[in-house]
Amino acid sequence: MKYPNILRRVLTLCVAFVLTGNAVTAQNSRENQKKEQTEKITTAIEHQDFTFRAQSILPLSGPRRELSSYYDMQVTADKVVSFLPYMGRIYMPPIDPSEGPLRFTSKDFVYMEKPGKKGGWNVSIQLKDVRTVQQCTLNISDDGYATLEVRGNDRQPVTFYGYIVGNG
């Protein structure tokens, strides 16, 4: 009566084989999705056609704060449009108080991108036609998560955390 033990072992091996196959298939699917996401982000960055969506803000002095509204910075080959909040010290108040300090459209800028040290990208945008902002620096991971640092002429720098999406 050794047959029931052999059948039990064969059945156990078959179930293990099926479960292992499903796990490998799921892992391959996740890897393919990640690869596709990385390719989309790479294309968007190389073609200067993406949007940074801010989820939180870290002022130079003060705690990190989650943003409850929709704030972003859109980058295309011919313009940069920013709709971002500001928290921090302003050294020279704006001429028009109704304008937000980080709400601008720039059509004269220098866009530089290079690979990051641990993957991802470092993107630097120097604005030439915006009086209040000098430079925006994005550090973007392969997954699309990003950190945006905005340096101004008349205010403390501020950092945003969020993610990148392609405009197309």
Average pLDDT for residues 31-49, to the nearest whole number?
Answer: 86
Here the tokens at position 84 are 């971002």
Where b means 16+ CB within 10 Å and e means fewer, 102-130 reads bebebeebeeeeeeeeeebbebebbbeeb
Return the percentage of the chain with pLDDT > 90, whole number: 42
Which three-class secondary structure state does DSSP give residue 141? Answer: coil
Domains and CATH numbers, the chain: 44-166 (2.40.128.410)
Judge whether residue 123 has pLDDT over 90: yes
User: Mind listing the pLDDT tens digit for each residue in 50-69?
Assistant: 999 999 999 888 889 999 87
Q: Confidence class of residue 19 from pLDDT cuts 50, 70 and 90?
A: low
How far apart are alpha carbons 132 and 125 in whole angstroms? 14
How far apart are alpha carbons 73 and 117 in whole angstroms? 24
